[in-house]
Amino acid sequence: MARRPLPRILSNGGAQLARSRELARTAADSATDVLQPLITIARGLRRLAAAGRRRWTETPRDRRGALLFLVASVVLVVALVPYGPLLAVIVLMAAAAWQGRERTPATPEGTDDTRTRRLQSLYEALVPYFSIAEDPDPLYAHGGGWEKAFPAHEFDEDGRVAHLVIRYPAYFTDGEAESRARIEHLLTAKSGRGREYRFTWDEEANHLSVDVLAALPTDIAAQRFVTAPGETVLGFTDPTRVQRTLPLTHGVEQRDVPPVVWRTGIRSTEPHLLVLGQPGTGTSTLLRSVALQALHHGDLLIVDGGGTGEYACLVGRDGVLAVECGLTGALTSLEWAAAETERRLIAVNRARQQGLAAPDDTRRPLWVFLDRPTAFTHLADTGGRRDPQTLLQVPLRHGRAANVTVVVADQLDALDSLTDAVRQHTRARVVLGPATADELANALGAPPHTTPLDQVPPGRGYARIGTGPVHRLQVPATPDPYDDATSEAHRQAVLDLLPPRTTPADGEQAPLPPEAEAEAAGAKAKAVSMEKQGAPVHVVASEPEASAEAEPDTVPVEKATAGAPAEAARAETVPADAVAAETS
């Protein structure tokens, strides 16, 4: 049977389809050329809207009202100006046309191969972790391409990875901390050490974002921060972690920096602070910074276990009750702090039972600072004395109700030497200086969201308030103004914040324990007997008066013996006139 020929339309259909396809392509190109200005303006308007939305999201909530007022003012002015709306539309179209243009970033010559090799190296390093033999279509395979695995990437000026988005298969155990830690350690080593990375795991989309964080500013000096009573600035952090900024002054420049604010007082959830770090990492600097802020609204009691004179600038200042560097003074001061906490609790409780407000003498905050309290533990054990840390149990447990705040600073390796009361009640934590991820997790209660560095500037670390997130922290420069190595600008900044020196009108001193008083009495009696033996026979009449004026400074200390019976106190008291007569 003869085969029938195909219709002509089917035999010549290929040529007609090709011709139709070419005509359609030509028409589309012509339409694109004609509508190119509209396409450019539409693209620019979309980019401007995205930029405005991003600006609104980045603006802190407390500043959005001012931003809305500014925008409304501009719109009102434009509406009232003659031809204002027309000019505004022209300016908007011009800005949209400029933003909507096709921009092809210039790539430096000779760097494409380097960046490609770096991405390929990262891809090959991730193959053992993101692939299994049972996967029929593996995303990661030796010799494969990295284009599908890394949908987005950016490089810095040095050619190192600055931002990277990594896709990984669904069967990867991204919910296990150990699996995540292996990937993060690998990416840190391959992307370049000496930088701080933030890893964001999107378990729902199976994406991992790697971002290189910029260094926190280290040039912020001590100054008066704009905060409410009960708020203390511990330092400054990344702008993406907090929704608040503080206006700071740096020379003649003013800028807004996001702070890490610690709230204290009766309404505080975490009223006590623990600062840990190695020597030279800025723990004493942080305590000085907090003390200078607390002086504006409260009274301070400072115990320096290091004995290096870090707080000598606060001695005798208005609002500073005492600065103790010895074991005897530390015990006396902390005993008084515990008694004062109990007194405040009783006074507040009585006022509440009577339906009255808290007394005025319980409203002013009391701050107790302890720098290296574990240094006194060995001294107390050797001398058979009481450990000063045991005296902190009452202020730590009942300090919030009594408006008493305790700040403890010690070395990171001495965390286990702190008492249980200190570790349990100081849930606001700061760790300064280099530390491993395990040490940070043990001290803060949670691992940081970034990779810790081996070398960091002084005052650099991490902070966590209670169960909140872990923040990167940079403490403001608050050095000892009496240190010769301090710069003149930082020294003057600290001195400007110090209150004036005050001297008690009655010349009273803190009471001493019985054993310390006995030692002081013995030394005094020995000094008096030696002075009597070496005194000349003929004495000018004005000498007893001088002695009488010099002795009362130490006599009241013996009168104010805490816990001693009244008869013993009268027996041990030496009148000033008798001392003067005896020395003559």
Q: What is the pLDDT of residue 504?
A: 55
The count of other CB atoms within 10 Å of the CB of residue 272 is 24
- Picking from 438, 484, 533, 11, the residue whose alpha carbon sits closest to that of residue 185 is 438
Which tokens sit at 257?
């920096």
Percent helix, strand, coil in the chain, to 5, is: 45, 15, 40
Q: What is the CA radius of gyration of the chain?
A: 36
Give the pLDDT score at 113: 81
> Does residue 148 contact residue 139 with C-beta atoms inside 8 Å?
yes
> Would you write out the chain's pLDDT as a tens digit for each of its 584 residues?
555 554 554 455 556 766 777 777 777 777 777 777 888 888 888 888 888 888 888 788 788 888 888 889 989 988 888 888 888 889 888 888 888 877 655 444 444 788 888 899 999 999 999 998 888 888 999 888 898 899 999 988 888 889 999 999 999 998 898 899 899 999 988 888 888 899 999 999 999 999 999 889 888 899 999 899 899 999 999 888 788 899 887 665 788 899 999 999 888 999 999 999 999 899 999 999 999 999 988 999 999 998 888 999 999 999 999 999 999 999 999 999 999 999 999 999 999 999 999 999 999 999 999 999 999 988 898 888 999 999 999 999 999 999 999 999 999 999 999 999 999 999 999 999 999 888 999 999 998 888 888 888 999 999 999 999 999 999 999 999 999 889 999 999 999 999 998 755 444 554 544 544 555 565 555 444 444 444 443 333 333 333 333 333 433 333 333 333 333 333 334 444 433 333 33
SS3 label, residue 582: helix
348 contacts 525 by C-beta, under 8 angstroms: no
CA–CA separation, 367 vs 230, rounded Å? 12
Residue in the structure block whose two tokens are 């405040």: 344
Among 94, 104, 90, which Cα is nearest to 40's?
94
**In the prediction, which pLDDT does 67 show?**
85
d(C-alpha 145, C-alpha 277), whole Å: 45
What's CA 392's distance to the chain center, in Å? Answer: 25
As a whole number of angstroms, the distance between CA 403 and CA 310 comes to: 26
Q: Which CATH architecture describes the domain 112-213?
A: Alpha-Beta Complex (3.90)
- Which H or E run includes 184? helix 177-191
Query: What span, in angstroms and rounded, lies between the C-alpha atoms of 579 and 584?
Result: 9
**Per-residue b or e along 322-341, where b marks 16 or more CB atoms closer than 10 Å to that residue's CB:** bbbbebbbbbbbbbbbbebb
User: What's the CATH fold of domain 231-497?
Assistant: Rossmann fold (3.40.50)
Amino acid, single-letter form, for residue 168: Y
In the prediction, which pLDDT does 545 show? 37
Q: Is the distance from CB of 289 to CB of 475 less than 8 angstroms?
A: yes
Residue with tokens 């002015």: 77
pLDDT on residue 442: 93
Query: Taking Cα atoms as reference points, which of 154, 265, 277, 151 lies closest to residue 207?
Result: 151
Residue 202 in contact with residue 208, Cβ under 8 Å?
A: yes
> Burial of 306 by CB count in 10 Å (0-12 exposed, 13-18 middle, 19+ buried)?
middle
Contact predicate 318/499, CB 8 Å? yes
- Per-residue pLDDT, 412: 92
